Structure 1
Amino acid sequence: MTTAVREAPHHRNLTCVKEYRCRRPGCLARSAEYDRTRTRLVAYGRWQPFTDAEPVRRHVRMLGSYGIGWQRVSRLSGVSNGGMSRLLYGDYSRGRQPSKRVRTQTADRIYTVRADIGNVAPTALVDGTGTRRRIQALVANGWPQMRLGVELDLNHYRMIWERARSEMVTGASARQVLDLYSQLWNVDPASRGIAPRYIAQAKRIAKVNGWAPPGAWDDDYIDSPSAEPDLGDDVDRYTAIAEDARWLIGEQNYTVPQAAHRLGITSEHLYRALRERPEADAAGQAEAVAA
């Protein structure tokens, strides 16, 4: 007499082999690799199948503040919607609180999702700071708004003016402007056939509105709402990093590692900036440099 093998509901993790006796070659290979890894780590005394769930939740919430919702994180990381929901909200139908622990492999998958505009869903709304500044910087370099509208395939040139002032933009729009900025930030408009009078007109518009050119922005900070353009003021890099980080930590509830990630630097670099530029001395440091 043989025992019937139940069909696994999915084949994304080890459950299909361990609980449903799945024999698909790909699933068996995944299970065998897991067993080999476990045996090796146990031998080295490094086997930690579970980890604290709270830092993982904070990472997901940080991604959410950047416009990457938890369902988007689920798709990008390969973690099931159910697993993500239990991590964040628990299972109220069974009276269960949010998970206290999570599998290390699951945590590692979630941590691979970075706060990057490339991970934002096309229709998700994100902070428009970086998008505004990139458009404004191109205008300051002499690119007419009408030409930028053509490059962005917008139906009406006034739409570029709206994006140059928008507080929020979609993920698709932010990526589109980022790509265009990467192509044009150091290109002379005249080399692309833009007449001198239109170049001069664009620069006048930028000057009247106080728009900074690309050279005034550091790529690491152009998306940070607290960043200021470098228009020749002699402010050292550590002071700028410390000020931006304190804004993210104090106003956006970021942890130091999350703030470092948002600023595009290592945690060690950020800790050093915070240590060498204490908050009480930040204003004095800037005044001393200016003097």
Structure 2
Amino acid sequence: MTTAVRQPPHHRNTVCIKLYGCQLPDCRARYNERRRAIAAGQQQPARILIDATETREHIQTLQDLGMSLSGIARLAGVRHPTICAFVNPRPTMRRGRRQQTTPQTAARILAVRPLTVIGAIRRMRALAHLGWPTSHVARHAGISPRRAWELRPNSVISVGLAEKIAVAYEELRTTTADEHGVDAWKTALSRKRAKTNRWPDPAYWADRMDAIDDPDFEPMYGLTRREIIAHDAHELIRFSGLSRAAAAERLGVSKAYVEHAFRDHPQYAVEVAA
């Protein structure tokens, strides 16, 4: 009875010789060259690996928030199979899921944050200033109007949907809906909604595109100087512990100006010390 000789899965490194006894001339030459390098102290340092538990848990947290593995991979700038290996058991891995990873891969994945819908909403609201109804923006993005209307702030959005709306925004932000034959009553209604709700327009976001997707960024659009002072004084007093006089000095105005600002905009004066 003869026993079949096990064949190496590939011949890219010295594993085929060490584990399978490969005798191919190229493999033997590569193996001998590596041995000589080791003997001469020229061996390349081993690749640094770290425990993958934190990375895997971060991926699972993002999944629980509604993000797909493919979306996480795209935001992290790594291959989709790389992400899958952290959470999905693979028969080719002795311990199922990936147990170690490089610091570089871990850093890329850990830097991924949930992609909220706020950026998509801000883009559609900005286009309303140009008369674009949500339904028209949605169709231009290749999605159903109902899907666009159902978007809610602070919810998670897929990378693919966010990219479609971002592309549509870039294509529409320099033109008006009137130029594309949208009914006048629809464009007027869109502009009225944008103005009434004080949604930032494309010109406002042009210098703030790095913040348009940031849910923690608070647009200060359409506000008077006095309202901005009231807002900033409120932040300084509440979170920095300054007095009204100190906050006024920091903002370059008088204490009386801050008092008047709070009087005109009492929502900022709530629970603020004198």
Aligning the two structures, in what range does the TM-score lie when normalised by the shorter sequence? 0.5 to 0.7
Change in Cα spacing, 1:72 to 1:146, as seen in structure 2 (3 Å) is: closer
Shift of 1:23: 8.9
Q: Does 1:231 align with 2:221?
A: yes
RMSD: 5.3
User: What residue number does 2:250 align with?
Assistant: 288
Q: Distance in 2 between matches of 1:115 and 1:12?
A: 35
Q: Could you tell me which residue of structure 2 aligns to residue 161 of structure 1?
A: 149
Aligned to 2:122: 133
**Is the counterpart of residue 76 in structure 1 residue 65 in structure 2?**
no
AA in 1 matched with 2:214: S
Q: Does 1:215 align with 2:203?
A: yes
* Match of residue 6 from structure 2: 6
- The offset of 1:206, in angstroms, is 1.7
Please say if 1:61 is aligned against 2:38. no
CA contact (8 A) 1:128 1:174 kept: yes
Secondary structure, in 3 states, of the residue corresponding to 2:79? Answer: helix
Pick one of 145, 164, 173 that aligns with 1:185. Answer: 173
TM-score normalised according to structure 1 size = 0.51
CA separation in 1, counterparts of 2:71 and 2:146? 34
Superposed displacement of residue 288, structure 1: 3.3
Give the structure with higher Rg (CA).
2
Distance 1:180 1:138 in 2: 10
Give 1:19's aligned residue: 19
The superposition leaves residues 243-284 of structure 1 with CA deviations (integer Å, 9 ceiling, x where unpaired) of 9xxxxxxxxxxxxxxxxxxxxxxxxxxxxxxxxxxx849997
Aligned equivalents of 1:198 and 1:68: distance in 2? 36
> Could you list the runs of 5+ residues in structure 1 that have no partner in the other structure?
118-124, 244-278
Shift of 1:133: 1.3
TM-score by length of 2: 0.54
In 1, Cα distance between the equivalents of 2:56 and 2:240? Answer: 29
SS in 1 for 2:157: strand
Name the % identity. 21
1:49 to 40, 47, 50: 47
Deviation at 1:202, TM superposition (A): 0.8
**1:11–1:202 distance in 2 versus 1, CA, 3 Å:** farther
Unaligned runs of 5+ in 2: 254-274
Task: Sort the Cα spacing of 1:13 and 1:221 in 2 relative to 1 into closer, same or farther, 3 A.
Answer: farther
CA contact (8 A) 2:121 2:153 kept: yes
Cα deviation per residue 1:61-109 (whole Å; 9 max; x = unaligned)? Answer: 2795383549964981653855x259xxxx9x98x9x95xx464xx445
Contact 1:144 1:198 in 2 (8 A): yes
Q: Give the residue type in structure 1 aligned to 2:122.
A: R
CA drift of 1:139 comes to 1.4
How many matched pairs? 218
Give the superposition deviation at 1:208: 2.9
Name the residue aligned to 2:134: 145
AA in 1 matched with 2:216:
S
Cα gap change, 1:192 to 1:285, in 2 (>3 Å): farther
AA aligned to 1:224 is D
Q: 5 Å matches for 1:115-126?
A: 126=115
**1:204 offset after TM fit, Å?**
0.6
**Counterpart code for 2:195:** K
Distance 1:58 1:287 in 2: 46
Structure 1 stretch 189-198 or stretch 172-181: which is displaced more? 189-198
Contact 1:149 1:160 (8 Å CA) reproduced: yes
1:271 is matched with none
Q: CA deviation at 1:226?
A: 0.7
TM-superposed CA distance for 1:189, in Å, is: 2.9
Q: Shift of the alpha carbon at 1:179?
A: 1.4
Structure 1 pair 63–76 and aligned structure 2 pair: CA distance change class (3 A): farther
- Which residue of 1 is the match for residue 186 of structure 2? 198
TM-aligned CA distance change 1:182 to 1:22, over 3 Å: farther
Does the 8 Å contact 1:132/1:166 carry over to 2?
no
Contact 1:71 1:81 survives alignment (8 Å): no
